[in-house]
Structures are given as C-alpha cells and as structure tokens.
Amino acid sequence: MWSFFVLLSCIANVLGDESRVVNTAQGPVRGRLIPGGGVYGFYNIPYASAPTGADRYKAPRPPPTWLTTFEAEDRKIMCPQRFASGTMNIQEDCLVVNVFVPDTEETNLPVHVYIHGGAYQFGFGLQEKFTELVRGKKMISVSFNYRLGVHGFLCLGTEAAPGNAGLKDMVALLRWVNTNIASFGGNPDDVTLSSCSAGSGSLDFLTVSSLTNGLFKKVIQESGTVIGAVGAQVDPIQNARNYAAVLNFDNVNDLNSLEEFYKNVSIQQLISRTDAIINNEGVTSRFGPCVERDNGQEIFLSDAPMNILSQGNYTKVPRMYGFTNMDGSVRFSVFDTWKEMMNEKFSDFLPSELNFDSEEIKEQVAERVKQFYFGDSPVGDHNFLSYIYYNTDVLFAYPMLKTLSTRVGALEDSIYLFEYSFVDENSPVYPLTDEVGARHCSQERIVSDGDLTGATEEYKRMQEIMREYWMNFIANGYPSSSDPSLPTWRPANAQRSPHMSLGRDIVLKESSPIPERAALWDDIFEEYFRGPIIDTDPVAPIPGAASSLAISKITFLVLFLSFYFIWHLN
C-alpha cells in the first residue's frame, strides 16, 4: 500500500506543479495552487468525525480513511450555526482542516495554526487566511472548523454531554497536525497557535489543558483569555436550562429530562435561537468552555483555569499577547437597547464571574463602576465612548491583564504584551463621537490576507511591521523587527510592564496599559472574583431538581434491594 502512495506522488510530480499529492495517515490528498500562485491549498480534509444524533455532544471520533486520492477542494463546509451564508455547506460532521503550503521543496518549516473566533457561536476555518505569509516560503498555515454554540459547548456533566466538545475538536486537530504535518513539509515540533476573540479564549484554554502537552510551542493571543467575555461558563447547567426554556422545553429542572431534550432536539432547532446567546449583559459567554465533572471520559478541563494558572500546573510557552484600544466595539449593535437597561440596573452588566454576599454590596460596586466610567450622567449618546471603554475593559483588556499577572506569577517569562491602537485616514469615525480607534481584532486583520485597494501608505507600512513581528515570533519565539528605528520588544513583568504601543507611533512603554482602569478592576476582582462553579459530584442535582432526583434514587434503591433478595433466594 505504501508503495502505491509513493507512486501517486511521483506521478503528480511528473504531471506538473498545478497540483500536489501528499500522503496522510488517512490516505493520499491532492491540493492545488491557489490563485496568485506560490501556495498549494489543501481544503476540507477530515481531521476527525463529529458524532451525531444522541452522541452529538461527545468527544470527536477518528477521521475516515481512503485508498483513492482525496480531492482536497473547498467544499465550503461549515459547522451548524444560525448566521450562515446560503452558499455554505452546513453539516453536523463538519470537522475539516485546511492546509496552505508554500511552493518549495524545503521541509521542516514552522507551522502556524489559526483558530477562528466568533463568540463560540459562529465562524469557520477560512474566515481569515494567511496565504500571503505562506507565499514567503517561511511557514505552513493551518485552519479548521470546530463545533460551535450549544452543539460544541453544552456542558451538563453527564455521559452524553460532558462539555467542551468544541475544545476537544481542537485537541483532535492538534493531534492530526502532529501526526501529518511533516508530510506537507512542516515541523510537528514547531507549531504556533494564533487567534483573536473567542478563538483566543480557546487558545488560552488549550494552554492550561493537560491534553495538549507537546502539541504546540508558541501562541499569538489577541483579545481573549480564560476569563472575561470568552472565559469559562460560570454556571453551565443554568445556561442549559435557560436555553432549553427559550426553545420551549418546560421540564428544565430535571437533569435527566434536560439531557434527553438536548439529545433528541433537531440540529436545526438547536441553533435556531443563537441570538439569545450572543449578547450577554453578564459579560461571560453563555455557551463556551466549562469545568468538567469526572464521569470516566477524557477530561479537557478539570479545574477552574485561574486555579490552574495560579498553581503553575501547565506547560509554559512564549506568547505574543495583546488587545486593541477599542475592543469594546463588539457591543455597537446593542447600544440603543443596553443604554436604557444599564441606567435601570447597571449591576446586571457586571462580570458574572464576580460573587457578592448580598444584593446591597453588588449595587454598591455597580454604582462605583458606573461613576468611574460615566460620572453622574446616565449612559447615553453623549458618553458613547465611555460605553466602548467600559466594554473594552470588562470583556477583553482587563481579563488579559489579570491573567498575564497570574501567568508571570507562575514564572512565565516570555509574554510580549501590546496594545494595538493603529488608525489612519481611512479608519471610520465612531458613531456619536469624533473619535477613531482600533476595532475588535483589527490587530489580526492587518496581518491576514486582504485587499489593499485604496489602502494608505501608512497602513501598508504598519502591515509590513506587524507581519514581520508575527513571522519572527513564529520562527524564533520572540517578536523582532529588522528596522533599527523600532524599539526592542522585551517581555512583560507581573506589573504588566513594559508593553509595546502599536499605534501610528510604535513605542515600548515602561508602564502597564490602561493603568487607572486596570487598578479599579484589580481592586474589585481581588475581593469578589469567584470564577466558574465547580461541581465534581456526577449525580449532584441541579437547582430545582431535588424532588425528581430523590424519587429516582428511591426507585433505584427499591430495585436494588429487590434484585438483591431475588439473587440470594436463588
């Protein structure tokens, strides 16, 4: 069989360079030169199989195998999600990988793995591409799909829905890369992960899971971490109950019934109300990563991530680490609704990771925060910029600074911190203001492929700088530039200093970003942070389910005693 695969490769080389056949552990795959040349694209290769039906929330299964050559063409496969283009091919078995390889005979190239964002609810592997970096013949780039929303992050702590299916997909992908990337010319021992937003949160969770040891060496982490907007679910069972109620299921207080509902609901109905999940005034994602119970299956996350970080019980790798100065722009669309809600009860918008002994204390903290950002004025059009800064801080900026300090305290010494604020004359002015700022994930978009028609020379220059930082980090483990006029980028300490200010001017500042705003949240988190609820009892009742579970236990006891006496009588 192996000689057959080798023969196919030889034939491909004889026929020309328009296509290339690579032998994977599953069988041969054929990629083709992408438009513009210089890069072979291998699209939609299955890296695992997503279980379906009643097993759809479980860990992924091994991928299929084949004997004939798999045509790795873009079939536009996307995991189930509500907000999808009609041109996409939505399917449950959606776990596919895309590999972009430079047209070179070189081997042992560094490998870049991109994790797409999208609030854990939407997106797909090809929403950003990095083929222009690959064309430089210095790396291989990989992207992939993973299960999303309730499909990927339902966490009941049961055998059927243990939690973190989407993250376990990512582990399967990294194992696939480790096994197969050498066949494409990559170095399996030199893998760098990159992402922004929920993808960056996923990336951060991957760094604290024991399942990923040895599967990557470096990370580029942007606007997302294990706490904040894309952090762990605080109360995953309550989230599951709430969403089931949105889908018109009544018996949400019984865990067994809840599990049966989710096992039997159609995938179309499951994703039909994603709008009820995405915008969460309590900051933390309603369906995202969770701390799992031990029910005999492989566990991705067994403890609260901040506990793991503070104990230093994880693999430490170099990381580029930063956010944009106006990441809170993700909350543009809900401003008109939320400004009224924030004025009515601002405490609803505090991070749900905070825990207060009384409603009175919670309201006092809420008033303190509201006064800090908005002063004596109600939230409104006149202080829209304060609304953006508030959301920047609670969703992304402060969570990243908080986890950075914890990581450095655990002896991580290669975290390269930045705040990205670059704008130019083409940058749009924010609504209701005269201000411009770097929008959510713009630090990733400037590095990825993009049409430069109409781009300013200033933008093109910044793109060159950012891409060089990325490429040198991927190659060497630290961001550097060949431009002698740019400062040397040093790792941050526990005081979050220094940090690189990436704006129209590039300056290494001997200080922390947003120091006054971070100091406010340092004080609040020190006193009130709790993180996710950890429930290790596999039969623990969910709130409101005590009576039905008690009946189940009595029934079990009666049956057990009946069988016991029957066995002894025989």
237 closest CA partner among 128, 320, 156 = 156
In the block, residue with structure tokens 């930082």: 469
Are 29 and 69 within 8 A, CB to CB?
yes
Q: How many angstroms separate the CA atoms of 261 and 158, rounded?
A: 13
147 closest CA partner among 168, 131, 162, 176 = 168
Extract the tokens encoding 562. Answer: 């009946």
Q: Which amino acid is at 287?
A: F
Q: How many angstroms separate the CA atoms of 458 and 452, rounded?
A: 12
Strands (E), 330-412: none
Q: How many angstroms separate the CA atoms of 472 and 478, rounded?
A: 7
In degrees, rounded to 5, the angle at the alpha carbon of residue 510 between the alpha carbons of residues 507 and 515 is 105
Q: How many angstroms separate the CA atoms of 461 and 395, rounded?
A: 30
Extract the tokens encoding 328. Answer: 């809170």
Q: How many angstroms separate the CA atoms of 529 and 309, rounded?
A: 15
Q: How many angstroms separate the CA atoms of 261 and 332, rounded?
A: 34
Q: How many angstroms separate the CA atoms of 367 and 365, rounded?
A: 5
Extract the tokens encoding 268. Answer: 């179309």
Q: Which amino acid is at 99?
A: V
Output the CA torsion sign for 237, 240, 245, 246. positive
Q: What is the DSSP letter of 106?
A: -
Q: How many angstroms separate the CA atoms of 416 and 479, rounded?
A: 8
Question: Distance between terminal CA atoms of the chain?
Answer: 58
- Helix, strand or coil for residue 454? coil
Are 285 and 155 within 8 A, CB to CB?
no
Q: What is the DSSP letter of 230?
A: T
Q: What is the DSSP letter of 148?
A: -
In degrees, rounded to 5, the angle at the alpha carbon of residue 214 between the alpha carbons of residues 213 and 219 is 90
Extract the tokens encoding 433. Answer: 């203001």
Check 183, 195, 197, 223 and give the catalytic one.
197
352 among known catalytic residues: no
Output the CA torsion sign for 337, 338, 342, 343. negative
| Phi then psi dihedrals of residue 112, to 5 deg | -110, 125
Kindly list the catalytic residues.
197
